[in-house]
Amino acid sequence: MCNVCLSRRGLFSGAGGLAVTAAVGALSTGAAMAQPSRSVETPDAAIALLMEGNARYASGKMSERDFSAGRAARTQGQAPFAAILGCADSRVAPELAFDQAPGELFIVRVAGNFVTPDGLGSLEYGAAVLGTKVIMVLGHTNCGAVNATIEALQKGNTLPGHIADLVRAMKPGIEPVLKTPGDDLRQRAVVANIQHNVRRLQTEKPILGDMVAAGKLKVVGAYYDLPTGKVIMV
């Protein structure tokens, strides 16, 4: 078994640990051969890098990049320091919003930035195999998926096709907000949806929850403010 596979053994223990380790080992071959462009040893350091990059982006002082540089090295593998569960909205591009180069972020996107089975598996892969130190659930202001969910829950209307599946998936996080008085329902729903999915990822077994408990991973929530480009932690 490769050295990468052996280094992952310590992540998993208890019931089912051997099965998880074996599965991760099979996926690991060649997956994390590339070295990150900088050393990111802790979840807090990863969060700091994200927020520093966003500050550059929001202020219009993004790093100059030669995107051809490093292409050859990236063919050997990837070692992203952070994972983003983001909305599919075309106005929010995580690599730009956090001013990161190719290979730095492991991104899963779906309208409404909620956890799906496939997305969960991808995030587990990012954390356990590729070594991401933080997962950020990233929503944004004026989210169309959130607004559609609010309207569907309030009016009982049914959306066409598989769009209705988005509402069903987002209902658990958003429905409680509809019963709570307060201003700016849409923004409160955006935040509630983010927080609901953060809590879910923090406790998902058998991989993410154990990594969070061991201090190897953090799951945090934030939203992207469309008018300013700033990312605000929640």
* SS3 category, 10: helix
Residue 1: name the closest of 29, 23, 20 by CA. Answer: 29
Angle between helices 185-203 and 144-155 in degrees, nearest 10 = 100
Detail the DSSP E strand segments found in the chain.
Answer: 82-86, 105-109, 134-140, 218-224, 231-233
Is the pLDDT confidence value at 193 over 60?
yes
CA 133 to chain centre: 11
pLDDT over 70, % of the chain = 84
Assess contact for 83 and 134: CB atoms under 8 A.
yes
What is the structure's pLDDT at 9?
41
Tell me the C-alpha distance between 109 and 66, whole Å.
26
- Exposed e or buried b for every residue in 171-186, given b needs 16+ CB within 10 A? bebbeebeeeeeeebe
Is the pLDDT confidence value at 17 over 80?
no
Is the pLDDT confidence value at 137 over 70?
yes
Per the model's pLDDT, the better-predicted residue between 140 and 35 turns out to be 140
pLDDT (tens digit, 9 = 90+) per residue, 41-90? 999 999 999 999 999 999 999 999 888 888 999 999 999 999 999 999 99
Tell me the C-alpha distance between 42 and 7, whole Å.
16
Assess contact for 113 and 83: CB atoms under 8 A.
no
Structural domains for the chain: 39-61+77-233 (3.40.1050.10)
Lowest mean pLDDT among 65-74, 115-124, 212-221: 65-74
pLDDT (tens digit, 9 = 90+) per residue, 48-59? 999 999 999 999
Q: Provide the residue type at 129 as one letter.
A: V
